[in-house]
Structure 1
Amino acid sequence: MVGKRESFEVLACRDGRWTIETSSASQADAEAFARKVLNGQGVSGVKVVREVARGDTARETVVFEQTRELRDSGKIFVNDIDEAPYCETVEEIYAARGRQTLNRLFRAYLDKNGVTATEVMHDFRELRRLVDADSLMASGVGKVATLQAKGRDDTDTGKRRDVLYGFLDEITVRARSASEKKLPSIRAEGFEAAVARLVASASPDQCDYLLRVMVARELVQQRSFFGKLAQTMDWAEPAQDDRTRVLVDTFTSDILANAETLQDLLGLQPTLGAALGSLIDLAQGRFENESEGRPDDSPEVLAGRLNAMLGLDALPDSRAMLVDRVRRQLEAKSPLSKGEPEQETEAFRALIDKLMPTDDLFGGGAIAEALTHRQSRILNKGGVAGLKEATGRLLPAFADPARKAGYLLALTESRLVDSIGDEISQQLESLFIRPESVKQIVKDNRPPNKKMQTLTTVVHKVRGSGLDDRMKSRIADRLDELLASYIVDDRILERVDDPSRPLHVRAFMLLSMCTPEMLPEGKASQLARKIVVKHLKRPNFETELVADVPPAEKERVLRDFHVQLYRCGFMQ
């Protein structure tokens, strides 16, 4: 007999669209939360939906609903933000992280007017409209100044506000000056021809800025974000030189800050977890949808074109914008799934696997931080103590030692390192310094070469990380010692250099143990290198090496052997 599962979803209506706010196991709690949500800005209605699931079927019933009439004042507010890069020059505001901040800060204004942050900064008329829009600019500058001055001794909010207004003045002067220039028209000449003519005529120090002005003039005429994206994709696919690719990427990344455009591209998604999974796939160029037979201007076809460009690493700023969206959604309170807590955990684990299919965490420190925050919410424990516990509780989800190291080392590059740095160090020590053998670290039954490769991957990750040099040395040296002991205790080299095997087979296997992927530079690799050197010193070694090789293959085997010797550093 399959038991029933009951849950209550709270939905809110904003701008005529219903979205899920949270879910609860209690109808009373859900209704209380709904009443609070109804008082929120822009919320015109709330309802509680009771879902009863039995097996694979589910039935939904609205058990509570309230609406209210909103007075449309037409006033737009500046969004709250959790971080803003501390820009030293105006050029940093034009760059990716600066634009990310502006796109979040002025999201409501940009969405309402169908423009992007880059368009506003480069089109003088649009810039003046934003500056003149009530107190938006003053509010935005104030929020950023307060955020940037927090915890710093070299400035305060007032001083930082003055600096930001100075940047605004500089952006305005440049936009006003550019508005008086006659630039090539993309609409009249075509994108590639217009770019080529401007590059040929503009001074080098003004060229990139004027190219952005030229593109902004074209895109500002298109007030649909979806239409803007279709246009930039038309420009991106034939783009050959780095300058043009950067130009297209700049505007595409801003367009992807619009939530409705992303929803159109991803299509209908059953849960937030599924939507984030699709967004991660898109950011990595792995998104799949049914586009065959669809019109060229359909969301499915456009998503496929964007996916292809992201898969070619042609749009790094656009990928960063999508990663930032994933980060903020992971850190938010909205549930990833509908239903029981077990389903929430499963959805979270599925996202982890998408973000870290191998041993590199997609999105780096920002995503590591977001995963840790999400885990602390699942544990329902806040503060530093909750984040520390979340760090330890997350590790089993990564399973493989190299993946665990990747997560912890990514955390050292996040904002959390200042508050939970000691916990990160303790976890690294527990994983890689305290164990007494390789088998205590790699506990599954993978073959010896895979065990060695796993620990070698960890060594390389540690050496290339931001850990302090002392901690790097402790982990790398300890793992090298364990690898050396493993090679000796398990007689790895004796088994590889078995005289019953042909010499060329043994030689290539020995050389494989000298590669950087198999063993790190140190004691363990020296054990293998000594045996290789011993073989190389044998009289007539090369003749013996190919003695068992068919005549037609001898030359190729010798050539491949010398290539491998060079790669392993024996001929340098």
Structure 2
Amino acid sequence: MIRGRIFHYEILVSREGRWIIQGVVRETGSGTAEAEATEAARLLLASGDCEEAKVVRIRGMITGYSTKAEIFHEARPPVREKSITVKGKVERAGPCSTVTDIRGLESRMILGRLFRMFLDKHRITATELLHNWTYLRKLQDTGTLVNTATHQIAAVQARELGVPARERVRALETLIGEGLSQARDLAGEKRRLPRFDPQALDHFSRRVRAREGPERHDFVFTALLCDHLLGFPSIGGKLEAVVGLMADDLDPHLSGLLEGVAADALGSADIVKELLGPQRHLAASLCRLADLLHGRLDLAAAGTNPLLARLGGLIGDGRAPSCRAVLLERLLAELGRNHPLDHKEPDAEGPLLEEVIHRLRRDGTDDILGGGLAEKAVSTRLLRHRQAILRRGGMIEAADALARTWNPDIRLLGRRPREGADVNR
């Protein structure tokens, strides 16, 4: 502070175009206030909490007169947004002959894999995408996403049906156009439709059926449900919302429409990880998931996610078949991936795989959860494990030849848990 003058420094940040004072540093006579204010502004900018930061020096006089001078102003460099692409690979796809087929579970599971980046960016499910004109238009505007997915699905369908791929591409494009038209037309009708009422779903359903007829009931009901879910900012919140609406006395058909959205939400790997809770390694997660699908998981145990307990109850009662199908696919996908069951102890792959196989097996039988697909995934993992052992021993050629000569019989593995084993501990 100079005789007759008073200095202080205001630190301002800009968030969403609005400037606010974040802090004030006053000069105490040491002469370091300006440096302290500037450093504080740089730290705020580096934290990513604001778009811009600046420091303004205020010089006041004891007479009340003051002047301002901007001594620091920087903007955060623009973050280049990761381009959205088609992810995943379609290995099997049933034929689609109607728009209803495209909105079916198998189709939504495929779309959930291919459009995962788009869905995660907008925090929506595949059902919401297929019933909301706004998001369908955004998907169209991304460029090649729809075209790439269409050709990938058409190639698989053509191979399964024994027809030219071009024929399936044209058929799918026709159905896509029809679906877009229906979503666009419904968007223009929503003001005249009944308002979604989560407190009286049966009454709301009857109003929709009376106005739209039984043929359009499911499409309109689901579309208005999806509009309601736009008020939830996360996939997890939407999952909790629809599961909460599945009351025990709700009409089974309406419960099925709600359950479809829940199944789509479970297509997100992050949601499944959150539901299962912290696990020591991948093997523990697979075992916990298998126990849930078998109905062996103690849903009342301390620390169990309440939403997982509710879903487990619905699956056990047969009221969530779509959720069960999606979780089973997630289990098989993780089992087939080329990742060790325990990153920290790769040498434990063999015993851990035996424990996973044991958990996959139905009690008292040799049947494996997931059937032939699970057996194929386990066999592939067993083969990779055996080849890794041979390569570590320097037997490279033997490891390469093993794929042509070795056919593991998983029925001989995992028939009983290893003594003292508890992968969920």
TM-score, with length taken from structure 1: 0.52
Shift, 1:148, TM fit: 3.2
Structure 2: which amino acid aligns with 1:81? K
State whether residues 117 and 254 of structure 1, in contact with CA within 8 Å, keep that contact through their aligned partners in structure 2.
yes
**What residue in structure 2 maps to residue 220 of structure 1?**
230
| Aligned residue type for 1:141 | T
Q: Using CA pairs under 8 Å that are at least 6 residues apart, name the structure with larger relative contact order, 1 or 2.
A: 2
1:107 to 111, 116, 133: 116
Q: Aligned residue for 2:292?
A: 282
**Equivalent residue in structure 1 for 2:155, among 137, 146, 149:** 146
The code of the aligned residue for 2:316 comes to G
Task: Please tell me whether residue 162 in structure 1 is matched to residue 149 in structure 2.
Answer: no
Q: Does 1:353 align with 2:358?
A: yes
Measure how far apart 1:259 and its partner are: 1.4
Matched, 1:330 2:335: yes
Q: 1:187 to 1:204 in 2, by over 3 A?
A: closer
Let me know the Cα RMSD of the aligned residues: 2.9
CA deviation vs aligned residue, 1:358-410 (integer Å, no higher than 9, x gap): 32322223222222222222222999973873433x2311549xxxxxxxxxx
CA deviation after TM superposition for structure 1 residue 286, in Å:
3.5
Question: 1:376 maps to what in 2?
Answer: 383
Paired residues of 1:285 and 1:312 also in contact (CA < 8 A):
no
**Contact 2:342–2:349 (Cα < 8 Å) also in 1:** yes
Deviation of 1:152 (Å)? 6.1
How many percent of aligned residue pairs carry the same amino acid?
26
- 2:144 is aligned, of 113, 131, 135, to 135
Q: For 1:186, what is the secondary structure of its paired residue?
A: coil
Given the superposition, is the C-alpha separation of residues 344 and 175 from structure 1 closer, same or farther in structure 2, using an over 3 Å criterion? same
Any idea what the Cα deviations from partners look like across 1:111-170, whole Å, max 9, x if unmatched? 1110111111111112111111232212222322333334764212x3322222112111
- What is the match of residue 396 of structure 2? none
Q: 2: distance between equivalents of 1:309 and 1:164?
A: 34
Q: Closer, same or farther in 2 for the Cα pair 1:71/1:126, shift >3 Å?
A: closer
Question: Aligned pair 1:258/2:268, yes or no?
Answer: yes
SS at match of 2:220: helix
8 Å contact from structure 1 (residues 327, 366) kept in 2: yes
**Distance in 2 of aligned mates of 1:388 and 1:227:** 50
Aligned residue for 2:23? none
Gaps of 5+ in 2: 1-76, 389-398, 417-425
Q: How much does 1:307 deviate?
A: 1.5
Q: For residues 157-186 of structure 1, what are the alpha-carbon distances to aligned partners after superposition, in whole Å with 9 as ceiling and x for unaligned? A: x33222221121111122122221433333
- Decide whether aligned partners of structure 1 residues 188 and 277 sit closer, same or farther in structure 2, where only a CA change above 3 A counts: closer
Residue 241 in structure 1 maps to residue 257 in structure 2: no
Question: Cα deviations across residues 241-260 of structure 1 (Å, max 9, x unaligned)?
Answer: 33112112211100101111
Q: For 1:380 and 1:107, locate their aligned partners in 2 and report how far apart those are by CA, in whole Å.
A: 33
Kept after mapping to 2: 8 A contact 1:372/1:387 = no
Change (3 A) 1:390 1:272: farther
8 A contact 2:96–2:172 mirrored in 1:
no
Q: Rate the CA distance shift 1:188–1:338 in 2: closer, same or farther, 3 A.
A: closer
C-alpha separation between the residues in 1 aligned to 2:293 and 2:411? Answer: 24
Q: Does 1:268 align with 2:278?
A: yes
CA distance in 2, matches of 1:165, 1:302: 38
Q: Letter of the aligned partner of 1:315 in structure 2?
A: A
Structure 1 residue ranges without an equivalent (≥5): 1-68, 401-572
Letter in 2 for 1:218: H
Partner of 1:178: 186
Q: Aligned with 1:167: secondary structure?
A: helix
Equivalent position to 2:322, from 317, 324, 327: 317
> In the superposition, relative to structure 1, how do residues 399 and 231 fare at CA in structure 2: closer, same or farther (>3 Å)?
closer
Give the structure 1 partner of residue 89 of structure 2. Answer: 81
Provide Cα deviations, 1:30-62, integer angstroms capped at 9, x if missing partner. xxxxxxxxxxxxxxxxxxxxxxxxxxxxxxxxx
**Structure 1 residues 174, 286: closer, same or farther in 2, change over 3 A?**
farther
Which residue is 1:386 aligned to?
403
**Letter in structure 2 aligned against 1:256:** L
Change (3 A) 1:139 1:395: same
How far is the alpha carbon of 1:214 from its aligned partner? 2.1
Q: What is the alpha-carbon distance in structure 2 between the residues aligned to residue 387 and residue 266 of structure 1?
A: 38
When residues 383 and 135 of structure 1 are mapped into structure 2, their CA distance, relative to the original with a 3 A threshold, is farther
Rounded to whole Å, the distance in 2 between the matches of 1:71 and 1:372 is: 44
Contact 1:239 1:245 in 2 (8 A): no
> Residue 356 of structure 2 contacts residue 414 of structure 2 at CA under 8 Å; is this kept in 1?
no
Classify the secondary structure of the residue corresponding to 2:248. coil
- Residue 338 (structure 1) shift: 3.9
Q: 1:389 to 1:395 in 2, by over 3 A?
A: farther
Contact kept, 8 Å, 2:387 with 2:400, in 1: the verdict is: no
Distance 2:120 2:401 in 1: 36
Q: Distance in 2 between matches of 1:362 and 1:259?
A: 20
- CA gap of 1:151–1:194, structure 2 versus 1, over 3 A, is closer
Contact 2:90 2:153 in 1 (8 A): no
Q: Is the 8 A contact 2:140 2:146 kept in 1?
A: yes
Give yes or no for contact 1:337–1:344 (8 Å, CA) kept in 2.
yes
Whole-angstrom distance in 1 between the partners of 2:331 and 2:404: 19
Relative to structure 1, the CA distance from residue 153 to residue 285 in structure 2 (aligned partners, 3 Å threshold; closer, same or farther) is closer
Distance in 2 separating the partners of 1:75 and 1:376: 36
Check conservation: 2:266, 2:326, Cα contact below 8 A.
Answer: yes
Match of 1:123 among 132, 135, 143: 132
- 1:231: which partner in 2? 241
Residue 96 of structure 2 contacts residue 102 of structure 2 at CA under 8 Å; is this kept in 1?
Answer: no
Contact (CA 8 Å) 2:282, 2:341: kept in 1 or not?
yes
Counterpart-to-counterpart distance in 1, 2:257 and 2:321: 11
State the shift of 1:344 in Å.
1.1
Question: 2:21 aligns to what?
Answer: none
2:300–2:309: 8 Å Cα contact kept in structure 1?
Answer: no
Amino acid across the alignment from 1:142: H
User: TM-score under structure 2 normalisation?
Assistant: 0.69
Q: 1:321 to 1:73 in 2, by over 3 A?
A: same
Give the SS at the match of 1:208: helix
The equivalent residue for 1:304 is 309
* Amino acid in the other structure paired with 2:368: L
Q: Find the counterpart in structure 1 of residue 54 from structure 2.
A: none
Q: In 2, distance between residues paired with 1:321 and 1:87?
A: 19
